[in-house]
Structure 1
Amino acid sequence: MNRLKTLFLKLPRWARLPVGLFLTATLVVAGFILSVRLGLWGRIPSTNELAEIQLDRATEVYSADSVLIGKYYLNDRQPIPPEAIPGHVTQALIAIEDQRFYQHNGVDYPSLFRVFFKNILLGDSSAGGGSTISQQLAKNLFPRKAGGTIRLVADKVREMIIAGRLEKAYGKEGVLHLYLNTVSFGDNTYGIESASQRFFSRPASQLNTEQAAVLIGMLKATYSYNPRIFPERSTQRRNLVLQNMAKLEYLPPTLADSLAALPLQLQYQPYGHDQGLAPYFREEVRKQAVALIAELPGDDKNLNIYNSGLKIYTTLDSRLQEIAEERMHEHMPAIQGQMEKAYGNRAPWKSDKTFKDAYLRESEPYRKLKAAGISHADIMDSLSRKRLMTLGDWQGEREVEASTADSLLHYARFLQTGNLAIDARSGAVLVWVGGIDYQRFKFDHISQSKRQVGSTFKPIVYTTALEEGLEPCTYFSAREVRYENLEDWTPANSGSDDEAYLNYTLNYALTHSVNTVAVKVLEETGIPRVIAQSEAMGIHEPLPEEPAIALGAGSVPMEQLAAAYSSFVNKGKPATPFLIRRIEDSEGRELFAHQPVINEEAFSEETRDQMLRMMQNVVNEGTASRLRARYDIRGDVAGKTGTTQKNRDAWFVGLTPKVVHISWVGLDRYDLSFPNTTIGQGANAALPLFALWYRDVQNDPELRHWVSGRFEFSEQSEDLEDCPPIKRDGFFKRLFTNPNKAKTRKFRKKEGR
């Protein structure tokens, strides 16, 4: 120390100040770097720790036809091995981000000095940032903390130290591999594999050179060079990457020019939870997968679906699902238009003050403000204030001047839907459309809804009757009856007054969905017996023990209704619907595999054959005959329409030799309904969803096997007995019958099951 002091004093007086300042600055810089190394500005991982980095991985969801249909993630990342990354991807990265990558050990000091001289001293920002790929990787793995200039400098020094250690831990190729598996491509997408799937719908291993240039070009500014948002800017950046690749002799100049002349072609596939194919299905799969994982033994039950890189293989057929969604988007605007035209200005959301007030009181914005202690008057004032907002409908989105109340009532008017198709033999879910728009309407009308099923319950009543010894040719009077022990409940038909003199066979009554006969069949069979039959067929939801269940007054989850109808195709055995075939961990180890559920026969072969033929008649000549007449549906199809009280719900259940397809259409609120039966009946509102789907599937050579073939009947099966479907009462009975007056008597209740 004394020696340094002596040397300093020997300097000329004019040199002492600058030398002193230089030495002081050197000591300050050295001390600052030492403080960074010691971890005072954030811990620096050792080389060994860096070598053990574990990346979060998104869980992938696959359809039965091996299509990636969704992901669950905090960060959408799917690491891939080095051999899955094409050489032109790493070449593009080096060409645009770090051309001296193989000449430095993590920090490119010549580039740093160039940047310092041009950017700081000359104010020329064209020199770039000076960070190497290794430094960028360090920044990606250990993000900077907010702070001032000193904090920024400390972070840069820290990244330089980590960059050197990364190169020691991984080597050059390992750094490139780790970088491409971690770097952000925007849209919450991380890594080259996820980016390739997102923007080009293909794995990274299949990226061509110009596609690789697009993705690598994004890295400078993932939003500004996003090819979906700014295609022209992205194309310019792509071409710069190609030029640099040519300069480094990674590409022949002529090839680079040819590729630069190509138009930008994306095949964008969003994997956000609200977007993409089958969002309602994917949400239900997520819920079920979380529950299944929680039941796994050992440490497996601690796996996190958002970062463990699981693979979930589902039952959904992406092609059948895509057709269902397309046809839903065709039919629902049409039926919405019919309803609104019929309502006109009489629509409750427009003219009914009582409805509007009740609806707003039940809304989430109102309840939150009420919970905060705000008065009703002030809440309504707040909800009624106009502002610029975006409202959407089937024609698209538009900016309008509207209030929160306007917005709530606007969306209250939308008809919703649920469409479910299952493999009638295994129960595998093939199609799952839980609503019209998952982004706006999260409620799933398959898994979360329990609606009255209307006349779709009648086949269960008739099945019970056949099991109890009645025949398809058994006659019942169609006359209306007022049941005096049921508060004068009087089920009615939509037919003519002449029905008071008519008697229908079970076959005819089911074919034409005759309400009065269904109630009398229930009475003859017994409510407890019908409920027991429904349970045997897969309906486990508690049903009301009242005569109205003959007309579908019970609320049944759609999956249970599908199970019940599958028994008509599956030799009397209900097929239990399921969504997940198996779950694997990131290494391919099987964590869960679905075990087939084989249920007992719910009824005899003879009953099954008779019911299937009767429901074929529903399609051929009954309430679902427009399948043949209007939609020209050919082949073996059976089914049943359904419409609930006050036209609240429209149903159709379609059966093919392999598939049960259920469609429901209605409004979410029970105090809203279709304006009339013409529009709201199942044949008009719900049946087209099946018809349009069926027609497209039938026309697809790869898919038509789902709807082709013939119904299988037992060897002893015969066609339904050829009996007159209608018998007219005799002269004297007609003479003493008033067609305008319902018969009055008590409903006979049978006890036991």
Structure 2
Amino acid sequence: MIELQPGKYRRSIIRVWLGAAIGLGLFILYIVAVSFNFFWLFGGMPDLITLENPKSELASELLSEDGKSLGKYFFENRTPVEFDQISKNVTDALIATEDARFINHSGIDPRSMLRVAKGILLANSSSGGGSTLTQQVAKNLFETRSEKYEGFLGKIPFVRTVIAKTKEWILSVTLERKYTKTEIMMMYLNTVSFGNNSFGIKTASKTYFGKEPSDLEVNEAALLVGMLQNPTLYNPLRFPTNALNRRNTVLAQMEKYNYLSEDQFENYKEKPLDLKFTVDGHNTGPAPYFRESMRGYMRAWVKRYNEDNGTDYDLYTSGLRIYTTIDSRLQQYQEEALNEHMRQQQKLFDAHWKGRNPWADESGKEIPGFIEKAVRALPYFNILKREVGEEEAWKVMRRPYKMKVFSYDGEKEMTMSPMDSIRYYKRFLHAGMMSMDPRSGEIKAWVGGVNFKYFKYDHVKQGARQPGSTFKPFVYVAALDKNFLTPCDKIVDAPVPENEYNPTNSNGKYSEQALTLRQALGKSVNSVSAAIIQMVKPETVVEYAHKLGVTSKLDPYPSLALGVSSVSVYEMVNAYSAFANGGYKTEPMTILRIEDRHGNVLQDFHQKQIQELSATVAYNMLYLMRGAVEDPGGTAGRLHSYGITSGNEIAAKTGTTNNQSDSWFMGMTQNLVSGIWVGGEDMTIHFRTIDLGQGGRAAMPAWGIYMKKVYNDQTLLQYRKGPFIKPENYVLDCGSVKSDSTDTYIPPSRSDDEGVLF
């Protein structure tokens, strides 16, 4: 019989407990050392303030006045949503796949860790990962594995991973104490990457299915959740089979954890991917030209705001919400109208120049070396010339390759050289169109070109071209406001011998008839405008144009009467608005307010107005310009065919420059002022006949199409038809002195023996 020594097992048990206690103590000491970055060995960790105010890169969003998204500014395309804004299908799929015990654990799941350890020991790669959702939030949101939090020991490969994992455990426990499970889940869903520059569930839903996250079906939610394991490997665009298999794995997990019945699982796994992929990029979405114009403004605003307030906002990462004055409905209708009109104009232009190149001089002959000159002006060509020499640079420019090009029937893939592509694009007509509410100065629609992806140049504000006869109202208003004329005075359509400037009319003839100012402006008679600018002096016209809103340099010569100094659509719409709002110059508004990511208002914007004309003079100008629409021979008479003139008052002006290089139309109603320019990229590219190139044909139809759409929308009652607001006690007084021979009113300031003004 073997005798056991007393205390033998007791000593063993004590050793075990002692070893466990020492191990636990060392583990606790290790945790404390990591938490406090003992001797800077482990690297720092996010502090309490950082944990309570987690930051991630959020796209700043541009919003229309009626709450629609116009686009974003971002490095990472991310827009957060709340828990009640996502489908339950998403959270069910996420928990079933990524962290089945998410609701029950406190940030660390021992069972998952044991499963992973067992998998490592048994070399079982399918054992899954041990990180909980909370740990993944700690890693993604607080960048625990970045150099920012790396200590001396972090430079050792395996040790680095252990320390990072430890930090994630510590942060997970802290996060679980500070946030609810719902908040932690939303931190995760709002920050993870879904590939294709889509960050967060809201952006992913829009990118892959074109819908809000609240509308995601089970199979759609399963696809997105499945991508989280590896957004590249399970990218449904590049690897659809991988994505489909992974989606079905997620569906199987949902069945396993009773989120789906067996029948539902069998049904959903048979569904196709059915993607509606749209990249939310800088070239897509509504109002891209406006959005790009606002980018420069907002960058300057952010810089100024930070300097004044000691903040560190960033346009691309701070999640600012920029509420603009744009009305998404007006913007849509203007884009549609311009596209419809320019598509037709391009067909006419191509047929007009069929078999010939449209870059021609005044005699209609092709300009030699036009394309070569355009190539020499390219920065790319000049860089190439410096690098490889001029001879080789020309070879590169003439070497064909496959490229995608713009067409009105969609992108086309063609084989052409860079020089061929320049020839191709030079044949396109361009356009710019803008609308503004004259009462508030709010810009409601802005279309800077025919296609932002291929033509970045903004023809609303960036571009400036000769306005032609649309400049004439500034000549007329100077004469009215300076009391040289009254609305009913008449001027003979004929050259004046003593005038230094006697332009011909568009038909090359003079009618020799005495015309009222309304008739002369409505028919756009050049000789009358020339007579008036001689009367009031060009410097006075410059003064009035500038004080009403034109900011471009204007040359004070008599030819200014026919619009020879270049201006932008933006300036013209702004200046014309003073006629429609009682003589007030209103500074154009593009932004209503700017908020931070939490909804705090950083700045409100308010209209700025100054009265530059009396209400009577402003209304008199509207009366004169209504002649273009209402009177026989008016240059805008074709507007009647759009069904928008009945029960309505429209003041309008067409404009055409030499050789039909620029076609303009300005249209005003009581509550909307719009302007449009149409022309080639170069002034040498134009229609050869005024019948095709005049403003009334090349520009005005876009306005007619646009306004018809506006009037047909019953939600836009604020822009309904109606008369202009007449000033109180307004009386159209044409004077009391008449010429017996011509029956023409003679203003007291000027007259001649025949009683006719020249």
Bin for the TM-score computed over the shorter chain: 0.7 to 0.9
Matches within 5 A, 1:318-333: 318-333=328-343
Distance 1:50 1:476, change over 3 A: closer
- The answer to whether the 8 A contact 1:502-1:728 is kept is no
Q: Deviations over 1:96-128 (max 9, x none)?
A: 23435556825733442465467xx57xx6665
SS of the residue corresponding to residue 330 of structure 1 reads: helix
Match of 1:5 in 2: none
Distance 1:484 1:569, change over 3 A: closer
- The answer to whether the 8 A contact 1:501-1:728 is kept is no
One-letter code of the match for 1:710? P
| 1:109 is aligned to 2:113 | yes
Distance 1:62 1:41, change over 3 A: farther
Matches within 5 A, 1:279-678: 279-296=288-305, 298-300=308-310, 302-348=312-358, 352-370=367-385, 372=386, 374-467=388-481, 468-480=483-495, 491-495=503-507, 497=509, 499=510, 501-600=512-611, 602-620=612-630, 621=632, 622-629=634-641, 633-634=645-646, 635-678=648-691
SS of the residue corresponding to residue 62 of structure 2 reads: strand
Distance 1:69 1:234, change over 3 A: farther
Structure 1 residue 143: deviation in Å? 8.5
Structure 1 residue 716: deviation in Å? 3.7
- The answer to whether the 8 A contact 2:108-2:135 is kept is no
SS of the residue corresponding to residue 464 of structure 1 reads: helix
Select the residue among 701, 704, 712 that pairs with 1:688. 701
| 1:705 is aligned to 2:718 | yes
Structure 1 residue 40: deviation in Å? 11
- The answer to whether the 8 A contact 1:106-1:164 is kept is no
Distance 1:47 1:713, change over 3 A: closer
SS of the residue corresponding to residue 466 of structure 1 reads: helix
| 1:189 is aligned to 2:202 | no
Distance in 2 separating the partners of 1:412 and 1:224: 42
Match of 2:9 in 1: none
Distance in 2 separating the partners of 1:415 and 1:137: 52
Distance in 2 separating the partners of 1:235 and 1:702: 43
SS of the residue corresponding to residue 708 of structure 2 reads: helix
SS of the residue corresponding to residue 571 of structure 2 reads: helix
Moved more, 685-694 or 39-48: 39-48
Distance in 2 separating the partners of 1:105 and 1:428: 54
Moved more, 449-458 or 395-404: 395-404
Q: Deviations over 1:324-343 (max 9, x none)?
A: 11222211121112112111
SS of the residue corresponding to residue 282 of structure 1 reads: helix
Match of 2:18 in 1: none
Structure 1 residue 302: deviation in Å? 3.4
Matches within 5 A, 1:171-182: 171=176, 173=181, 175-182=184-191
TM-score by length of 1: 0.81
Distance in 1 separating the partners of 2:60 and 2:671: 31
Match of 1:736 in 2: none
SS of the residue corresponding to residue 309 of structure 1 reads: coil
Q: Deviations over 1:609-660 (max 9, x none)?
A: 3321221120224111111135665322221111112211111111111000
One-letter code of the match for 1:623? T
- The answer to whether the 8 A contact 2:470-2:654 is kept is yes
- The answer to whether the 8 A contact 2:405-2:414 is kept is yes
One-letter code of the match for 1:364? P
Structure 1 residue 691: deviation in Å? 0.9
One-letter code of the match for 1:628? H
Structure 1 residue 159: deviation in Å? 4.8
Moved more, 537-546 or 651-660: 537-546
SS of the residue corresponding to residue 190 of structure 2 reads: helix
One-letter code of the match for 2:113? Y
Moved more, 679-688 or 260-269: 260-269
Structure 1 residue 556: deviation in Å? 1.9
Distance in 2 separating the partners of 1:672 and 1:193: 46
How large is the Cα RMSD of the aligned pairs? 3.7
- The answer to whether the 8 A contact 2:470-2:655 is kept is yes
One-letter code of the match for 1:577? P
- The answer to whether the 8 A contact 1:115-1:130 is kept is no
Distance in 2 separating the partners of 1:473 and 1:82: 67
Structure 1 residue 75: deviation in Å? 1.3
Distance in 2 separating the partners of 1:194 and 1:664: 36
Q: Deviations over 1:19-45 (max 9, x none)?
A: xxxxxxxxxxxx9xx999999998463
Distance in 2 separating the partners of 1:301 and 1:110: 46
SS of the residue corresponding to residue 556 of structure 1 reads: coil
SS of the residue corresponding to residue 683 of structure 2 reads: coil
- The answer to whether the 8 A contact 1:309-1:585 is kept is yes
Distance in 2 separating the partners of 1:284 and 1:44: 42
One-letter code of the match for 1:99? A
Moved more, 687-696 or 156-165: 156-165
Moved more, 547-556 or 40-49: 40-49
Structure 1 residue 423: deviation in Å? 0.6
Distance in 1 separating the partners of 2:303 and 2:132: 43
* Structure 1 residue ranges without an equivalent (≥5): 1-30, 731-747
Match of 1:97 in 2: 98
- The answer to whether the 8 A contact 2:59-2:74 is kept is yes
Moved more, 102-111 or 260-269: 260-269
Distance 1:388 1:205, change over 3 A: closer
- The answer to whether the 8 A contact 2:529-2:562 is kept is yes
Distance 1:227 1:374, change over 3 A: closer
Distance in 2 separating the partners of 1:156 and 1:79: 30
Moved more, 350-359 or 639-648: 350-359
One-letter code of the match for 1:679? L
One-letter code of the match for 2:621? M
Matches within 5 A, 1:183-332: 183-199=192-208, 204=213, 207=216, 209-223=218-232, 225-226=234-235, 237-256=246-265, 270-296=279-305, 298-300=308-310, 302-332=312-342
Structure 1 residue 377: deviation in Å? 2.7
Distance 1:40 1:218, change over 3 A: farther
One-letter code of the match for 2:384? L
Structure 1 residue 299: deviation in Å? 3.5
Question: Size of the alignment, in residue pairs?
Answer: 684
Distance 1:335 1:482, change over 3 A: farther
Distance in 2 separating the partners of 1:405 and 1:145: 48
SS of the residue corresponding to residue 609 of structure 2 reads: coil
One-letter code of the match for 2:349? M
Give the share of equivalent positions with the same residue, in percent: 33
